[in-house]
């Protein structure tokens, strides 16, 4: 083999290896996670005290997934977010429908730079004690600062809680009763 041909093969092999490393856009995308303190919501029966014995239902963020497209020229990352929720209640012979608020926020370091509120509706069939359901946010656009990369940002998902609900979560801990 000639030296030129060997050098061409070596450069070609290196180019293929580097291309495999640099074209994986997901590695550049903002990360996504559930905010622990806002990942569960316990709703109590009307007129009762916040005690596990009075729980009407409980809903939790079960999983958060994301993908994105990056526009290098515009310096933006446009992420879609998929959220899996899980709800539980004591078995009942009744059908029930509920609507709960959740948020999708973007942070860079310790600073929240944007937040949007959404609602999701779910229900229980007669006798059903557990259900899971999905929600999605099709577009969360992040303007990337000149000195940052898309992966320097994080998308946070949580249930929009009142001050009392947040205090209850802190009191019972992440997994609650």
Please report the domains of the chain, with CATH numbers, ordered by start residue: 25-172 (2.60.40)
pLDDT at residue 12 tops 80:
no
Residue 68: count other Cβ atoms within 10 Å of its Cβ: 22
pTM of structure:
0.80
Supply the pLDDT for residue 51.
86
CA–CA distances in Å: residue 13 to residues 16, 17, 23, 123: 5, 6, 16, 55
Which distant-in-sequence residues (6+ apart) come within 8 Å of 132 by Cβ? 62, 84, 85, 86, 87
In whole angstroms, give the CA distance from residue 14 to residue 106: 37
**Within 13 Å and on the Cβ side, how many CA atoms surround 176?**
24
With cut-offs at 50, 70 and 90, classify the pLDDT of residue 17: very low
Q: How high is the mean pLDDT of the chain? A: 85
Q: Each residue of 28-79: pLDDT tens digit?
A: 999 999 999 999 999 999 999 888 889 999 999 999 999 999 999 999 999 9
């Amino acid at each position: 083999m000639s030296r030129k041909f060997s050098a061409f093969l070596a450069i070609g092999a290196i180019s293929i290896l580097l291309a495999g490393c640099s074209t994986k856009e997901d590695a550049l995308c903002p990360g996504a996670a559930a905010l622990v303190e806002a990942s569960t919501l316990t709703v109590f029966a009307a007129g009762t005290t916040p005690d596990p014995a009075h729980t009407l239902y409980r809903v939790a963020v079960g999983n958060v997934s994301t993908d994105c497209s990056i526009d290098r020229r515009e310096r933006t990352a446009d992420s879609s977010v998929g959220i899996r929720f899980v709800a539980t209640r004591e078995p009942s012979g009744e059908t029930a429908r509920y609507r709960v608020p959740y948020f999708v926020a973007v942070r860079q370091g310790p600073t929240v730079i944007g937040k949007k509120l959404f609602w999701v509706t779910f229900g229980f069939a007669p006798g059903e004690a557990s259900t899971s359901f999905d929600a999605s946010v099709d577009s969360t656009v992040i303007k990337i600062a000149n000195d940052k990369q898309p992966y320097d940002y994080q998308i946070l998902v949580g249930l929009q809680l009142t001050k009392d609900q947040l205090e209850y979560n802190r009191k019972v801990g992440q997994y609650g009763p």
